[in-house]
Amino acid sequence: MSRGNRSPCIVGIGQSEYTKWGGIMDRSQFQVTAEAVRAALADAGISAREVDGFTSFSGDANEANMMHVAIGGEVLRFSGMVWGGGGGGSAGGVSLACAALESGQADVVVVYRGLCQGQSRRFGKFSGTRIQGNFVAPFGLFAPSMMLAMVMQRFMHEHGIGPEAMAEVALSSRANANRNPNAIMFDKPLTREQYFASRWIAEPFRLYDCCLESDGACAVVVTTRERARDLDVKAVDILSAAMGSGPGWGQGPLASHNMPAEDYASTNSRRLAKELFAKAGVDPKDVDVAQIYDHFSGLVLMALEDYGFCAPGESGEFVASGGIRWPDGKLPLNTSGGQLSEAYVHGMNLILEGVRQLRGTSSSQVADARTCLVTGGLGVSPTSGVILGVH
């Protein structure tokens, strides 16, 4: 949906290498993140001197004022961060960038995320220092896998969905990663037998239902359509971007488990999905490819229903029919390998893959892709999403 010359678009993407957590120890997390920012600017063909805004999410440790100095920026006019929700704010960082551009508070905004978990902390591991305000840890829910397992069990019970559906999500993502040289799991095929033989993490999640724990960084450059016209790059329009939460979620399953009963077995995206599609002027049937936040395979099934790609209770049948498989599925999904098999950078790598798809440069390219949905983290508060498109 056009909003004039200040309509926002993505003109550059950049990343560091991706490794297993602890794989990057020769330079700081900040340096790795700055590398991704510089790579995104080089991809866009924009000088660091033009960058006047930064956004990120969920307590990113790489402070914007220092990043501005490190890359050689001149004037900083805008900085913003999405509070809470972990990776739920990944597309929210893009939403903040859009708000800054459309309101005239900035002209070139970089959205970034950098994680070197070997240098700081593992997000999938319980930390006693994070127990303040957490009402579920005293009952043994120490890690996200445990917290979200309860939501997934309820979803499976209500809809009669079995483990084969989750296996399909994991296997499809791994097959896509095996075509992506940048993926951590590029050279590691996964068979159905290996999937079902893997150990339980928190039932119903097996090992391969859980995202990677990675070191790496990603960045995207967002500017106005007016500025993009002067660049020698294929700009990708941001048709809509939004973040938020349904009523009564509070901290949701990651700290309180106090969601309304009718919304408990969901991704907290039903209201958000309606807003996103309405703003973009498209329907789920118009989406050619999707990058759905896959911290756990089962939440992808919930998202397929919450975003309207299939009716309630039909996500298992949808994936069993090959609906998310590349290249012939109705909705090819997480075509870089996603967070299950490419890397876990709190969802920012999914945004990069969405841009690659619409530029025609993905390692699992969807033919004639013109519209892509990217979601932020699922089953958290706030969550977020973005719909990307090309003319």
Residues 28, 354: Cα–Cα separation, whole Å: 28
Q: Identity (one letter) of the amino acid at 128?
A: G
State the catalytic residue, choosing from 112, 208, 293, 307: 293
Residue 366 is given by DSSP the state P
The pair phi, psi for residue 301, each rounded to 5°, is -60, -45
Q: Is 293 a catalytic residue?
A: yes
State the catalytic residue, choosing from 112, 195, 264, 344: 344
Give the chain's radius of gyration (CA, Å). 19
CA 143 to the chain's CA centroid? 19
**Exposure letters 134-156 (e unless 16+ CB within 10 A, then b):** bebbeeebbbbbbbbbbbbbebb
Nearest to 202 by CA among 141, 155, 156: 141
Q: Are 82 and 92 in contact (CB under 8 A)?
A: yes
Measure Cα distances from 107 to 7, 32, 228, 239 in Å. Answer: 11, 25, 11, 18
Q: Is 264 a catalytic residue?
A: no
Residues catalogued as catalytic: 293, 344
